[in-house]
Structure 1
Amino acid sequence: MRPPVIEAIKIENYRALQDVEIKKLKPFTVLVGPNGSGKSTLFDVFAFMETSFTIGIRNAWDRRGGLQQLRSRGTSGPIAIQISYREEPKANLLTYRLEIDEERGRPVVSREWLRWTAGAAQGRPRHVLDFQNGSGYVVNEATGKKSEEVLDGPDRLAVNALGQFKSHPRVAALRRFISGWYLSYLSVAEERKSPTAGPQERLSQSGDNISNVLQYLKENHPERLQSVMKALREAIPTLDRVDYETSPDGRLVLFIKDSPFSDPVLASNASDGTLKLLSYLTLLYGPDPAPFIGIEEPENHLYSSVLPGLAQQCRQSSERSQVLVTTHSHEFVNSCKPDEVIALYRGADGYTRVVRPNNLPLVVDMLDQGALLGSLWQESYFEQLPEPKTPVADLGERA
């Protein structure tokens, strides 16, 4: 059974995302737009949620400079993040909303609720959980009875606290869902490291345990490792194999061998692009992938001809995980479907606006005539986006 899929997200007062709502999200979604349009900010919303659930709101809040740095300029009120999702394809729609304000420099969960929407014949949406400033109620889903609860602080998440009880299965499922999100911040410098030996099931956000994950796949899921290697060779035909050895001091040393040569090279001397692509494929082909995977600008370090194949692999992986990608690459977008792509841009007020290419008649008509989606975006057919201006120095003679 596949994990839940987010169908809509609404964000208020989060930096440039002052009032943004995106509906009809697909299992594979690609964000495009110029620099400063809000792509990374939207990506960070998901990272903020994941950190809040796994480490704590205070940590997520302080990392980003608190309310002064997070709240949209010129606005008041709390930051709000709302997601609508289904636990299964035909299940009722669930909506979770989190509002965070600040008191005396500390984050406060001013409102948090979870509700489910039944069919039209079953009436209006029903709250499963509803809390304000650390107190509220949760509904026992077996008996339908409300239970008043008080958390041990206004910066605590009710879903995190109550999601540990079997009597609240929807709350528990939401807690597991968000806690399991994976936001990629892969670093080639980290991927070159030689970690302590030992299999690890999941790739870290930085990729510093890529050798450990390969060890895990080799020992437990060799067919998955073969799929990773097959996809890597298709993208890099000269590649022979990727393997690791355990050094005398108990570390995993990753090496890469090209077919024209007899001796492999250490990962520390390998191509940046090879290491980056290896990490992406290991992430996407994992036997038990994260329910939500975020990848920011995968084109960095990769040759343009590799990107269409990577887009296809992301779509294939979206059958098991929801995949969100931000990109500046038209080659990547050329392999996407119109309803998978969302363009972001800044309006005249400085806040982010959303454009859906599949809602633009001219774009749809040109696609029907054989145009490529990424090329249309590159040529500004999605929207008349503000062009960045480069200051020009005055090279004239000085008086």
Structure 2
Amino acid sequence: MIRRSLLISGPWPLPGLAPRLNSRFLRLTVENFRTLTRMELPLGPLTVLVGPNAAGKSNVLRVFEFLADVARFGIEPTVEARGGYGEIAFRGGDHTLSGMRIGLEGIWSEYASESSPDEYSLSLLRRRVAGENRGRYHFSRRERFVLHHQADDAAAIELLRDTAQVESSVPGEQLSRRPEISGMATGLRGDLPLHADSPSVLAIRGLAKHLTDVRVFDADVRAARRPSPVGFPGQLLANDASNLADFLLELKKEPDAWDALLEDVTTLVPSIEDIDVQPAPGTSDRVTVQLRERNLRGRTSLADASFGTVRILCLFALLHDPHPPVMTCIEEIDHGLHPHALELLAERLREASERTQLLVTTHAPVLVDQLEPEEIVICERDAKGASRIPATSTESIQEVVEASEGLPLGELWFSGALGGGR
């Protein structure tokens, strides 16, 4: 059962962790993860990845899933669950590359800021074993944290093979010697040579919580149509929307959010007059969604609603969540929606980005028309199979917009003027 993040309960949910509204990711860098051979991506309140199929947009979202699983389960189980290093490393060229790196900059300690961000990096290294074991490989990791617990000062923690190194001016965080640790340990799971209540451990624990709370939302309409078990109060909408009915039951307890959702749904689907959440027939622990439609007797089960109607309900429920995690990723947000719905969707994205960072993929020029140059990231794939993200700088996008004398962004992208159109 998915439960709401602890980060929303009070102004300082974890000691040493910045408040949820101030905590955010500022930049993602990736080397050799799937098609992302070299990417440096600024992350604003709303970041929309635009480009053709197989350009690598989804792989950006997969990076956050990967880090979330590292924080939950550890490095080796996460790599093995994806088929091994050879499956997640870039597979272009004649040989599997020996190194992969993921880096994040953001704010998750008390004195971090946009000009002095916290940093996290995870490098995975694969080296061929020499001698009689030729053909076998040695797998290792390198992990580094930079944290700001005091003004104008930073602590650095680095895990190198089977040792750890700590550089900190915080009392009690200095080490007399390099301690021995497991060669594949990760600080995201608390494998650190520091006291459990030290500022660095608490800040890293907060980062791990942020990462495990990141949603990569890709609604499964069939799952969303089914009755869902009644869960705990305050749960999030599941990544596949399989608990939609229960989430809506909780959302009805937030009158402002519920009224706003109902207004949007009835605006986009005028035949709908109301949305009910009722006990599922023959059960005592499941609820189902019923729609009251104009000029029709009785209620329409969500199982009988159109694909687009269910998608609208899923997406707008997600965007009206008053207590989201720090980041929400949405896969192919325009899928199944009428073009006229995309203008309102863009408005709700921008409003929701005041409560949660949004990282979104789309193919829809109509949606891109509603965005600002700094909100879109053009994505392409080169002849060698590597993604180019961003393929065009924000400054270049702005120059093209100015030269076009006001043509919409979506039209410029679709025409190929911004790159990433085909």
For the superposition of Structure 1 and Structure 2, which TM-score range results when normalised by the shorter chain? Answer: 0.7 to 0.9
1:133-191 alpha-carbon deviations (Å, 9 max, x no partner):
3431345674163245444x433321321589331232222122112111112100110
Q: Is the 8 A contact 1:357 1:364 kept in 2?
A: no
Of 260, 271, 293, the residue aligned with 1:258 is 293
Match of 1:72 in 2: 90
Aligned pair count? 379
1:287-341 alpha-carbon deviations (Å, 9 max, x no partner):
2101110001011111111112112211111111110000000111111110110
Match of 1:42 in 2: 60
Find the aligned partners of 1:224 and 1:362 in 2 and give their Cα distance: 39
Query: Which stretch of structure 1 is more off in the superposition, 85-94 or 183-192?
Result: 85-94
Alpha-carbon distance change, 210 to 382 in structure 1, aligned in 2, over 3 angstroms: same
Alpha-carbon distance change, 265 to 253 in structure 1, aligned in 2, over 3 angstroms: same
Show the 5 A alignment for 1:296-315. Answer: 296-315=331-350
Report the CA distance between 1:205 and its aligned residue: 1.0
Match of 2:187 in 1: 158
Quick one: which amino acid aligns to residue 33 of structure 1? G
Report the CA distance between 1:237 and its aligned residue: 2.1
Of 141, 144, 159, the residue aligned with 1:110 is 141
Alpha-carbon distance change, 260 to 184 in structure 1, aligned in 2, over 3 angstroms: same
Report the CA distance between 1:28 and its aligned residue: 0.3
Of 121, 129, 132, the residue aligned with 1:97 is 121
Alpha-carbon distance change, 63 to 145 in structure 1, aligned in 2, over 3 angstroms: closer
Show the 5 A alignment for 1:54-65. Answer: 54-65=72-83
* SS of 1:355 mapped into structure 2: coil
Structure 1 length as normaliser, TM-score?
0.86
Alpha-carbon distance change, 214 to 248 in structure 1, aligned in 2, over 3 angstroms: same
Match of 2:263 in 1: 230
Find the aligned partners of 1:257 and 1:59 in 2 and give their Cα distance: 47
Task: Compare relative contact order (CA 8 Å, sep 6+) and give the higher one, 1 or 2.
Answer: 2
1:196-221 alpha-carbon deviations (Å, 9 max, x no partner):
23455211111111111111222x42
Q: Is the 8 A contact 2:106 2:114 kept in 1?
A: no
Give % identity: 24
Q: Is the 8 A contact 1:84 1:96 kept in 2?
A: yes
Find the aligned partners of 2:137 and 2:294 in 1 and give their Cα distance: 57
1:358-396 alpha-carbon deviations (Å, 9 max, x no partner):
3226513145x22100110000011276x4xxxxxxxxx
Report the CA distance between 1:37 and its aligned residue: 1.1
Query: Which stretch of structure 1 is more off in the superposition, 297-306 or 358-367?
Result: 358-367
**RMSD (Å), alpha carbons:** 2.8
* SS of 1:300 mapped into structure 2: coil
Find the aligned partners of 1:234 and 1:177 in 2 and give their Cα distance: 34
Find the aligned partners of 2:71 and 2:146 in 1 and give their Cα distance: 18
Q: Is the 8 A contact 2:32 2:99 kept in 1?
A: yes
Match of 1:82 in 2: 103
Quick one: which amino acid aligns to residue 178 of structure 1? L
Of 175, 194, 204, the residue aligned with 2:208 is 175
Q: Is the 8 A contact 1:242 1:254 kept in 2?
A: yes
Find the aligned partners of 1:333 and 1:193 in 2 and give their Cα distance: 32
Match of 2:328 in 1: 293
Quick one: which amino acid aligns to residue 206 of structure 1? D
Structure 2 length as normaliser, TM-score?
0.82
